[in-house]
Amino acid sequence: MRTKLICVMVVALAVSLTSQVFSNSRTDDPLGIAVSPQTLILSLDQGGAVTVHTAICLTAVDTGSLSLNGVPAESAWADSRGNLVARFNEADVEATVAPPRAILTLEGAMTDGTPFAGSDSVRVIE
């Protein structure tokens, strides 16, 4: 019994430390909004999509309400932690930005109708 208790405590500690080590420290946004790629090259196709990672639980979001600088999301799914990840058309997003930097704002609504918004800054190159 004591061994099981120790094992459970070790696992709980490991999970706690892992979530702190692997948290999205790249962004200061309270919703964890992090845009990828961090540099948009307007004269180059970078894969056709801009992806936004968040710290928002996917099941709490109305995925049909998502937009990035007014561009509707093409798809949305959960990452390994259950948090929202959304994909947007690269060309459509690039049409909303200009060098040298841009603020990209993810907007949407929770399933209860509460609106949310969060932003990340990206570098923009011609």
Question: So what's the pLDDT on residue 60?
Answer: 97
Question: So what's the pLDDT on residue 25?
Answer: 54
* 17 vs 36, residue with greater confidence: 36
- Can you give the residue ranges of every domain in the chain? 27-125
Report yes or no: 106 and 68 within 8 Å, Cβ to Cβ: yes
Residues 6+ apart with CB under 8 A from 3: none
Pick the CATH number of 27-125 from 1.10.3470, 3.40.50, 2.60.40, 1.20.120: 2.60.40
Question: Does the pLDDT value for residue 98 go beyond 50?
Answer: yes
pLDDT digits (tens, 9 = 90+) for 33-84: 999 999 999 999 999 999 999 999 999 999 999 999 999 999 999 999 999 9
What one-letter code names the amino acid at 72?
Answer: P
Kindly write down the DSSP assignment for every residue of 46-79, as one continuous string.
SSSEEEEEEEEEGGGEEEEEEEETTEEPSEEEE-
